[in-house]
Structure 1
Amino acid sequence: MTSTKTLFTTVALATVAGLSLAACSGGTDEQTPFTRLANSTTARVIGTAVVVRDTVIDATIDASGVAEPIQQAALSTKLMGTVTAVLVREGDVVRAGQTLLRIDARDLTAKAAQVGASIADAEAQQHDAATQVARIRALYTDSAATRAQLDAAETGLARAVAGLRAAQAAAGEMDALRSYATVIAPFAGVVTSRAVDPGAFAAPGAPLITVQDGSSLRISVSAAGDAVRELRRGQTVAATIDGVPVSAVIEGVVPAGAGNLFTVNATVANQAHRYRTGSAAMVSMPVARTPALLVPNPAIVREGDLTGVIVRTAAGDERRWVRLGASTATHTAVSSGLKAGETIVIPSAPDTGASQPAAR
């Protein structure tokens, strides 16, 4: 599910030194809703005055997803046998190549001995066939053996060589099978699942131990074509994981296979393991740039459902009700009730309606 918000990219707020304000020429106040502070035209609120400037913001579309580890493996075996040892527990940190589990492989040891005997027999046959070929070739040179006898001896040697190669290949296959009796970590990470204990029966393909590397996370979200038009591989976008703002890098945008939807993959560095895998996440995808007026969040005053700011004028400070737009942790957009160039006040303390006369 997606929702539209605004991400602020630049903030141009000029701080006005002191609390003085140049006097304006005579005239009447603008016809905008406001409440006069302390019923005095010279009332001043203690705080910092800032001038509101035009700036540019990025309109974005937010899409929600889940932060998953890029590297995660459910380890299994090709063997069928009894688990003899499980050397890790859930939550253990493991290194690449570390032994995690062992399976009873005594039958493979016996078969390996048979394969070794087959190799020895094949080597003996090859040696005998090579000796026979050398003898027949010498006789053939002296015209004491026929061509047919030489051809038969050479055929016997070729068969002996092929038999030796087959025996050696069987030994390699046996070594590979025996390696499946030991389950090792394919990369450094954390054990997140231990599905068996010693004495359990391991079947080919059944998950035994799961390891995941949370040092790099991937957020996958779905969005419509209009939302992903501006995205490029390697582009940095804003995101959140469990509500915490993070920077994500676009890994790729691919069709989702359903209507006009696309899958957006973004990666987040997590070497310090600050963010938990499986956490709710959100990616903000920029779609347009629009002008806006931004005010610092501490400058916003509230009264019930009304929101406003303290505007400094030549006649005094006034509380003006405004309409707010999207906000971030530091600033909020004002959609109406305020103009660029006007000065607002950030109160030094929560506004209680009290004020001090301007210095004369």
Structure 2
Amino acid sequence: MKRLLLPTLPLLALLAACGAEKEERAKPIPEAGFIVVKTERVPLAIELAGRTSAYETSEVRPQVSGLIKQRLFTEGTLVRAGQTLYTIDPSLYRAAAAEARANLASAQAARVAAAARAERYRPLANIEAVSKQDLSDAQATAGQAAAQVAQTRAALETANVNLRFTRVPAPISGRIGRSLATVGALVTSGQTDPLTTIQRLDPMFVDIQQSSADLLALRRSLAAGGVVPSSATVRLKLEDGSDYALPGRVEFAEPVVDTTTGSVTLRATFPNPNGLLLPGMYVRAQLSQATATDAILVPQAGVSRDPQGHATLLLVGPGNKAVSRAVRTERTVGDKWLVTGGLKPGERVIVEGLGRIKAGQVIRPVPAGSPPRPAPAKATDAKPQGR
């Protein structure tokens, strides 16, 4: 039996090798959809937390003391600058103004009499009908009377100002809050508690917090080149996850770092015509502080991770073979990776058919998005029978 089997072993091995080679030739070459790498300008967007605040805020306080007689506004409505909000009992201030007017009239009459006396003494002093001292005294009295007129006129102006302050006006235009004082309440000049608060809500401020480390990295990348400053346009995402329709603009960045949070405050301004934004709302601000001038973007579907977490991708190599390449990915931009190392413009990255392709395998490269090629018809082994 051994003598019979030994000559047949080489024949069996040859038949198996031929079958494997035939099967390899029959296996179809997989298609690989690729994209051609190119450089482009890409805004580097970031998302930061922020809080809204009123564009202007004014606490209304009385400038004279007295009892509140009227409240002339509706809480929560819009008021305009100069509109009267409260009236304070003006009785004492009206009387003080009347007294000041009377004092002014008296001082003016005394000035006229003193000036006339001084004028009459001047020719008499020249003929020595009166002494020089009497003339000097008359002129001094006329000067004192003129000064008294100026003093009483200033007192009248002060009295009128205090009388005008009995009508408490709105310092700014905006939406007024609730009243913290009622009719009949006693208020005093210079009190610490405000009567009410007015806030201007169109436009609105948004104070955005950015870590000082990120700001330092941004400045270094700008200094190193390849990145240029972007426009200051900002978009908002509200607390419920919805997008705010109107864009804003960064106005300035504070030149100091908050020692408690280690962050820098960026202030942006947003139009708020419908009053959707209210002071104190938590928002997410989306903005681009820099633009990469020679960025390379690769679809996320074309990038995978090895067991160490390094980013890799497959390229169309020489001889239409798939070549694995390690690359450096910095961040995502939409549905793509920003590749900062390992790729050059003009190289072909495989992004379709990756499940059927391995590194070193022969492939049929086609542009990504091409329609699939129809499968070839199977050849028949049957031979035509001759007559």
Comparing 160-169 and 288-297, the one that deviates more: 288-297
Identify, as 1 or 2, the structure richer in helix: 2
Shift of 1:254: 2.6
Q: Which amino acid aligns with 1:208?
A: L
Shift of 1:336: 9.3
Asked if structure 1 preserves the Cα contact closer than 8 Å seen for 2:67 and 2:187, the reply is yes
Q: Name the counterpart of 1:166.
A: 151
Q: Is 1:80 matched up with 2:65? A: yes
* 1:309-329 C-alpha deviation (Å, 9 max, x unpaired): xx99899xxxxxx99864566
Identify, as 1 or 2, the structure richer in strand: 1
Question: Which structure has the larger Rg?
Answer: 2
Change (3 A) 1:59 1:271: closer
What root-mean-square deviation, in Å, do the aligned CA atoms of Structure 1 and Structure 2 show?
Answer: 4.7
Q: Name the counterpart of 2:251.
A: 250
CA distance in 1, matches of 2:90, 2:230: 50
Q: Name the counterpart of 1:218.
A: 205
Asked if structure 2 preserves the Cα contact closer than 8 Å seen for 1:255 and 1:261, the reply is no
Q: Which amino acid aligns with 2:215?
A: A
TM-score scaled to structure 1, two decimals?
0.65
Shift of 1:108: 0.8
* 1:329-359 C-alpha deviation (Å, 9 max, x unpaired): 676646899986547889xxxxxxxx98436
Q: Name the counterpart of 1:30.
A: none
Shift of 1:90: 2.9
CA distance in 1, matches of 2:59, 2:98: 32
Q: Which amino acid aligns with 2:250?
A: V
CA distance in 2, matches of 1:59, 1:212: 35
CA distance in 2, matches of 1:98, 1:344: 69
Asked if structure 2 preserves the Cα contact closer than 8 Å seen for 1:85 and 1:102, the reply is yes
* 1:11-40 C-alpha deviation (Å, 9 max, x unpaired): xxxxxxxxxxxxxxxxxxxxxxxxxxxx98
Asked if structure 1 preserves the Cα contact closer than 8 Å seen for 2:302 and 2:350, the reply is no
Q: Which amino acid aligns with 1:209?
A: T
CA distance in 2, matches of 1:169, 1:278: 46
Q: Name the counterpart of 1:110.
A: 95
**Which of 226, 234, 237 is equivalent to 2:232?**
237
Q: Which amino acid aligns with 2:129?
A: A
What are the equivalent positions in structure 2 for 1:131-146 lying under 5 Å apart?
131-146=116-131
**Which of 47, 66, 79 is equivalent to 2:51?**
66
Change (3 A) 1:257 1:42: closer
- What is the percentage of aligned positions where both structures have the same residue? 23
**Which of 174, 180, 194 is equivalent to 2:179?**
194
Asked if structure 2 preserves the Cα contact closer than 8 Å seen for 1:216 and 1:269, the reply is yes
Q: Name the counterpart of 1:277.
A: 279
Change (3 A) 1:135 1:227: same
